[in-house]
Amino acid sequence: MRSKAEIISQLTNPGIIAVVRAKSAEQIPPLTEALLAGGVIAVEVTMTTPNAIEAIREASQQFGARALIGVGTVLDALTCRLAIEAGAQFVVSPITRPELAKVAHAADRPVMLGAYTPTEAQLAYEAGADFIKIFPADGLGPNYIKSLRAPLPHLRIVPTGGVDLHNVADFLKAGCAALGVGSSLISQKILLNSDWPELTRLATEFVKAAKSAR
């Protein structure tokens, strides 16, 4: 079993975290396989996915040795605990919920708490967050991250929302630890058509862009 430190290291290299809002739990295995083929190892299965806990359990059993299967959109401690018991290796929330850090750390799992402002980001850090999820980042951009980290360089920031192939390099050069990538990687069209070769192609492009920016 990976330690928290090992998981943190793998989340930041290459630094692309796929945010998965699948239409069904059955899509998670082929979707994960496609992402892995493109070099994306961090797969955040959001709780908005139908039967998300069971999907995490099955994906962890099937891909645990090759992928980091995490849970996203976690809003309460019970969901956090159930997901970790199912095999989730990292926990992500769009909000600052301090109790999630306690549950995750008790299981030696990293946690990413959501924030939007500098005050929220620092409070999330003080609550025990290993990463700060800046969300939604589409209206903020890389310059905001750069300005945020100037007085708060200790924050490991992961912007989510608005990250695409055109700004991967800008976000990473602004000091982000990793990037949460949703619909620009796993589009509704890909999910609707189960177009896994296209997902692999896009995953490859995102990993290439991330490595080039480091």
pLDDT for the residue numbered 1? 84
pLDDT category of residue 214 using cuts at 50, 70 and 90: confident
Measured in degrees and rounded to the nearest 5, phi and psi for residue 4 equal -60, -40
User: In the annotation, is 133 catalytic?
Assistant: yes
User: In the annotation, is 189 catalytic?
Assistant: no
Where in the sequence is the domain holding 33, given as residue range(s)? 4-207
Mean pLDDT of all residues in 109-113: 98
Read off the pTM. 0.97
- Please indicate, yes or no, if residue 212 is contained in any of the structural domains: no
Strands (E), the chain: 16-20, 42-46, 68-72, 91-92, 111-115, 131-134, 157-159, 179-181
Active-site position among 23, 133, 173, 205: 133
Structure tokens at 144: 């905001």
Structure tokens at 52: 């998300």
- Please indicate, yes or no, if residue 213 is contained in any of the structural domains: no
CATH number at residue 199: 3.20.20.70
Active-site position among 23, 26, 44, 102: 44
- Please indicate, yes or no, if residue 42 is contained in any of the structural domains: yes
* 7-40 tens-digit pLDDT: 999 999 999 999 999 999 999 999 999 999 999 9
Overall number of domains in the chain: 1
